A = this chain, B = another copy of it.
């Protein structure tokens, strides 16, 4: 009997993080970090785990989107799927009826990403490798075959992608050893949530430096005066050698962003993240021209590779912040890494949320070993919450992500956590329901 995909399950998991204001920023005052948690199962009992991250309400819509895609892949022979992961991805992203809900954006695109990632998890488990190694040990030709070039060719051809990967091939083994020995640089957002008091900000900033981080991040954008005060406090706490990035989470219009950053400039922000609408490519480019040498960073809400292509073509960003669950999974992220390499822009992935650190480290490490070949100016976001719910939680040592050795992509949650936080019946998820009745 051929081994086929027999089920794509999705569970609505919600953590009541709004109770602690972890994760609070200018646009997300009270998030309940959540996940549409996906399991792909085969007829021989194999499993793969993925998820789409959301911030609470609407996680049920995300689950519904996964269920809408499931009939497209249930029944497919798993060997055929793993041999053609691009085709598998396109079965979902290219479905002529479902793509109307995007196309290639929003809940339906993230749902495809969760299923694609769960299937990569299954693939990596079958090979007994962490995802970063599975990818980093593929040939340039195999890697290029993962990418859908339909809308990319004017910026990146398959031949150029092949060249990039071939140039990085000689140093792969050495970089893999380097990664296993020293890990990958991290930065921390832990001190800077908008809901924290000044005292907590200062204390956590100092702790971050003590823990070996040389880049921290502050949320800004709700109140200018308060941002100036907090930035001054943080700068005083960490000294002049530690970089401080700021993140406005889309709070501003273009001109407003420029004015606000002028007020923060004396404290030397390293980058400004999401200064305006994530869709505003030309707006980001205008802001970048106006605020240099402050770097412009975005990506966690950048919904697909066509948007990243344009951010690069328009010279709108200095830092590309891909996300593990916003786009259609590993395949699209491989495309994004190749685009970034083509344009020479460093990738500093977005993380935090639910399981994003666990997943995204694989993409950055693959990038280092087999694509860009460098960690210069590159750093993975780190936030220290919710890791206890994962079977293979990230390990941070001296400001670095320790390279994972366990097979898979890192998205597998502990069954007892899924049971406890399953919305709305899990005993610990009900606190996420504060919103009912406004």
Contact = CB atoms under 8 A, between A and B. Distances in A.
A100 interface: yes
Given A103-B301, A254-B154, A306-B277, A314 B60 contact: no
Interface string A94-136: 0111111111111111100000000000000000000000000
Interface stretch (A78-86, A205-213, A278-286): A278-286
Interface string A54-66: 1111101110110
A28 interface: yes
B97 A56 contact: yes
A254 B54 CA distance: 33
A107 B61 contact: yes
A286 to B, nearest CB: 7
Contacts of A190: none
A377 interface: no
A45 to B, nearest CB: 23
A30 interface: yes
A151 B276 contact: yes
Interface in A136-184: 149-154
A310 interface: yes
Contact of A150 (B97, B108, B253): B253
A253 B278 CA distance: 23
Interface residues of A, number: 69
Given A64-B60, A64-B64, A96-B31, A104 B279 contact: yes
Contacts of A95: 57
Given A154-B255, A301-B103, A313 B61 contact: no
A280 B101 contact: no
A71 to B, nearest CB: 7
A127 B198 CA distance: 52
A303 B306 CA distance: 14
Interface of A: 27-32, 54-58, 60-62, 64-65, 68, 71-72, 75, 95-110, 149-154, 250, 253-256, 276-283, 286, 301, 303-304, 306-307, 309-310, 313-314, 435-438
Closest 3 CB pairs of A and B: A106-B106, A56-B97, A57-B97
